[in-house]
Structure 1
Amino acid sequence: MKNVTIGSNQVPAVVQGCMRIKDLSEDQIERLIEADLENGITFFDHADCYTNGLCEEKFGKVLAKHKDLRDKITLQTKCGIVHGPEYTYYDFSKDHLLETVNASLKRLQTDHLDYLLLHRPDALVEPEEVAEAFDRLHQEGKVLHFGVSNQNPAQIELLKKAMKQPFEVNQLQFSIMATGMVDQGINVNMTVDASSDRDGSILDYCRLHGITVQAWSPFQYGFFEGVFLDNPKFPKLNKKVNELAAKYEVTNNAIAVAWILRHPAEMQVILGTTNLTRVAESAKGADITLTRQEWYEVYLAAGNKLP
């Protein structure tokens, strides 16, 4: 498994996302973790809002059962989204952050998180409150490293003005069919939609500031509209991906992962699948380096244009 750098740590390029483990039994979660470890995936991503904490709770039961497992893995969760029966809102207040992290630690049955991310931007954020919460969590050893998710450069800079700890991660949507982070940079000063700067050049910002991008939904198009692989809506793209899969003797999942990892930003790819076969297939993408020409061929086959 290829490694990438987060801050001063070496971590695997592929991450196991845990959003879909809610329907798995304890035995099935154990087998998923075993499959991950066998394929070099030792990084696990959670969020307190995934089924209102049920995913963390189920994962924690496995950690409690296998006492030696915690030291073998990197554990990350996200916080800040509040779901209710008839409402959703975002909350980065000091009290909420402290409360939710303590609740996550309890559910995960661990005394610390390796990484904590602020999930989606809170329009009412007060950076000083976030800083106070992070200071306490860090001083108490409950969180070792911090990051954000789905945030642009200005939002990160606003938070940084009060922070002592560096932001080491930004989790963002990126895949063959979600290329917004690179489109604007390719189409600079063009009078086309792809030239629109919708994220403040977040990819370049992260590279300049040593923030590792974690790419979520690597096989999805749109906003959870479905997978693009083997989808008849995208014949040209699948033809090209399948050609490369045959060349490298892997599956199309691996090529989709390899395409993301080919970018020199040294991203991580977060897998959402809990299918053991797909986990193994996807992990192989970390060991493939597409050529520059192949990367652009896939980009064009996805319906993008070069000026």
Structure 2
Amino acid sequence: MKIPKRIQPLVDDGIVDSVLRQLMSGKEATVYVVQCGDEVRCAKVYKEASKRSFKNAVLYNEGRKVRNGRNARAMQKGSKFGREQQEEIWQNTEVDALYKFADAGIRVPTPFGCFGGVLIMELITDADGFAAPRLNDVTMPEEKALIDHAKVMDYVVRMLSVGVIHGDLSEFNVLVDDEGPVIIDLPQAVDAAGNNNAKKMLLRDVNNMTQYYSQFAPSLASTRYGDEIWAIFETGELTPKTVLTGKFIDSEISADVDTVLHEINAAREEELDRLERMSDGE
């Protein structure tokens, strides 16, 4: 196919050999399948801010640090240079999150670098070598839904353990290959400690995923993983090894955090006992 204008410099520099086809076009970018030497990868071409339909970007930018004072002032004034700096931060947020999440044991596409607003990364494929489908296009038996939902909740915990919330997690931002879910689309990732909307975003991420999987595993509909995860996070006790139960009891007295935490810990101990009994029975 004809080489897109934004990818042409990468071809000129030998980073990309050829563009095979367009994979998808979304609210923030267009993704192409490209040939890079002996490997087939994907190139995510970010749309300019004026053409990007991602809503409420200001909510996601809150808490993102700009070390250079000149850049920060330019961004506040909304100058051309400031807008360019804002775009660079938007794109680098995804690259940084991909590396951070991979190090934390979260399945994400491997990044190979961002060049002039074009992110080159691993192409996630199915068993036949075709591009892996989005979760939205997949159906599954109940047992598979429970397993994959547990994996996603583990990923959410691991993200929060390194201080990051996806911010736009849904069945449209998860790919599925033979090994299970793969998290994608991270330019809107937010700092859990520096963004006042962090809790709201985490609950929305978790509820989106739970609602989707619950159509295959109805028992998930009554769980409250988001509230449980955030409550543990607020106490400073959340780690990648945290065992979740999906249970959460609202406190009648909003300040009674100790009581709520006690209930969560009791439910977690009960779940650990159940897992141990299952292991002993194998």
* TM-score using structure 2 length: 0.29
* TM-score using structure 1 length: 0.27
Larger Rg: 2
Q: RCO greater where, 1 or 2, for CA within 8 Å and sep 6 or more?
A: 1
